[in-house]
Amino acid sequence: MTTDAFAFPAVARMPRRPAAILRINSVACHTVMVLLSLFCLFPVYWMIVTSLRPANQIFDTTLWPTSVSLGNYVHAMQAIPIGGMLANTFIVAALVTVAQLFTGLLAAYAFARWRFRGDRLVYTLVALTWLVPFQVVMIPNYLLVAHLGILDSISALIVPHLAAALGVLMLAQAMRSFPAEVIEAARMDGAGNWRILWEVIVPSLRGSIASLAILIFISTWNEYFWPLLLSRSPENSVIQIGIQMFMSAEGNAWGPLMAAATLASLPILAIYVLLQRQVVQSFMKSGIR
C-alpha cells in the first residue's frame, strides 16, 4: 500500500477580493455613515440656527440667518430663570446618578455573590420592575411625596429615583463575570464584604460604572413628566419645564424656545464631546447589547 492512499484532499482556498473592490466597499460604508451622521445632526444644527435668527426671520428656510441676533437668548433669560433651572437640573441629575450607583452596587453585590432562599425570585422581580414605565407608578409616587410634605422641591424630584433596576441588572451582570479567585484571595487576607466591594471589585468595574453613570445622568437630565407633575414655581423646577413655558395655546415663541433648548443641550453635548472615547470604550467593556 502506498502513501498516496493516505493523502489528504487539498483544501480549496477562498479567492481574495481585489483591493479595488475592498476600497469601493469602504468608501460606500463611510459615505452611508456620513449621510446618517448629517441626518442626525441636522436637527441640532437647525435648533442652534433658529435660536440665532431675529424675530422677523424665525421662519426663514435658509441654512444660515442673514443677520445673527442674540435677542432670543436675552428674551429667554428674562422670561425664565435659566441659570437656576440649569443648576437645579444638574443637582438632580448628579444626586440621582450617585444614589443609583450606590444602591445598584450594594444590590448587585448581594445578587452576584450571596446565595439565599428566594434570591432568583427577588432578582426576577427587580428585573420586572424595569419593564414597568415610570408613568404607571407616577401617581403612587406623587401621593408618597405629598405625604412626605416635599412637593414643589428639589427633594421631590430625587426621592423616587434613589434606586432603579437598570443599575442593579447592569452591575450584577458585570460582577458575575468578576474572577472569584480574586475575591477568595481578598477574603483570605481578612477583607470583609465592604472592603471587597469598594477596594477590589469597584476599581475593576470602572468601565461598567462609567457607562451606567452616563446613562443615568442623561436620562435624568431629560426627565420631563415627573417634574411637570410636581413643579409649581420656576425656582424649584428644572430646565425641561422652563422650555415648556414658551409653549402655549396662543402660540409658541420659537426663538426663545430654541434658545432655551440650546442652552439645555450644551451640558450634554459638552459631556459627550469630552468623554466620547470613554463613552464608547465603557459601553464595549460593560457588554451592553
Residues 26 and 100 occupy one common structural domain = no
Total structural domains within the chain: 2
Q: Which of 7-11, 86-90, 129-133 has the highest mean pLDDT?
A: 86-90
Confidence of residue 279 (pLDDT cuts 50, 70, 90): low
Chain centroid to CA 87: 19
Cα–Cα distance, 45 to 250 (Å, whole number): 27
Domain annotation covers residue 8 = no
The residue with greater pLDDT, 134 or 104, is: 104
Q: pLDDT > 70: what percent of the chain?
A: 88
Domain annotation covers residue 6 = no
Residues 192 and 54 occupy one common structural domain = no
261 CB burial (10 A radius; 0-12, 13-18, 19+):
buried
Domain annotation covers residue 220 = yes
Residues 45 and 111 occupy one common structural domain = no
Cα–Cα distance, 91 to 98 (Å, whole number): 11
Domain annotation covers residue 9 = no
Q: What is the average pLDDT score of the chain?
A: 84
Residues 27 and 138 occupy one common structural domain = no
Give the domain extent around 53. 15-69
Q: What is the pLDDT of residue 289?
A: 43
Domain annotation covers residue 52 = yes
Residues 28 and 128 occupy one common structural domain = no
Q: What is the mean pLDDT of residues 263-282?
A: 77
Q: Which of 23, 54, 69 is the last residue of a domain?
A: 69
